[in-house]
Structure 1
C-alpha cells in the first residue's frame, strides 16, 4: 500500500502528549495504529477500545502506539477515559479533521445516498513511522460491527515489520 500519512494535531485526553500528533509519536514508536471510532455513544466502539486496552502490552512489544480517534469534542471523549482508563492516547476529532484526511467511511450502503445521518463507520489505519510516515495497512468497516480483531491488528503490524 505505502501511501504518505497525513499528520494531525488533536486534543488528547488519554496518556501521551496533548495535543497529539503523528510527528510526536514518531520519536518513540515504529508504528501508530489509528482506530477511528463512530461516535461517543457507539457500544461497539467502547468494546473495541477496552479489548485493545486489555492486550495493549502486545502492541507496546511491537513498538506500536495505539491511538483511538473519536469524532466528538474533548469533553465527550474524556468520559471514555474516565470510564475505561485507557493506557494509550484517546483523541478528540470534533471537526473530523483526521477522519476526513484518512477517508473514514461515512455512508452506510445505499442509505448513504439518501442521508449521512447514519454516521461514520469505524476504520483502522496502520502507519509506519520508521522513516517518512506512510500508511501500510488499512481496514474500512462497512458497519459498526465490522472491525478487525486484535489478532488481525497484531498480524498487520507483524506483516508490516517483516515486509
Structure 2
C-alpha cells in the first residue's frame, strides 16, 4: 500500500469491482461531473463494452438492443454532487478490467483481489470500500450562487448610510 492510496475496493466479480471503482472516484472527487468522470475513465479503457459510453445518465436507455448494458438498480447508481445520477456499463472483459484498475491507481484507488460472485438465480456480486492512510472523503464545496445579491444589498446599505449621513447628519 502506497502513502497516496485513498480507497481500496473489494469486489465480487470484475464488473461489480469496476462499479466500486467508480463509486470510490465519486467519493474522492465530490465536485466531479459526468464529463469529469468520462475524462477520468475514457471509453478507450473498455472498447469491448457493447455500448457507446462507459457512463450514461441513469434515465437514459443504454442501447437500441433489448440488453440495456448498464447498472440501473438504486444501490448501483453513482450520485454526483450536481445531482446527476450515473449508470456504469456492466460489461468489463479481463483486458478492460485490467485497464480500469490501472487507471484507478492514478486517483489513489486500489483494488483488492476480487472474489467470484455466488452463482444462481437472483444472486449478484457486490463491492465494498475501505478508506486507507487516514483518508476521509472530502466534503463537496457549495457554490455560492447568491453572493452577488449580498454584495448588492451591502452596497445599497452603504449608499443609504452615506446619503443619510450627508443630508441628515448635520
So what's the TM-score if we normalise by structure 2?
0.28
Q: Who wins on radius of gyration, i.e. which is larger?
A: 2
Q: Which structure is richer in relative contact order (CA contacts within 8 A, separation 6 or more)?
A: 2
TM-score by length of 1: 0.29
Q: Give the structure with the larger strand fraction.
A: 1
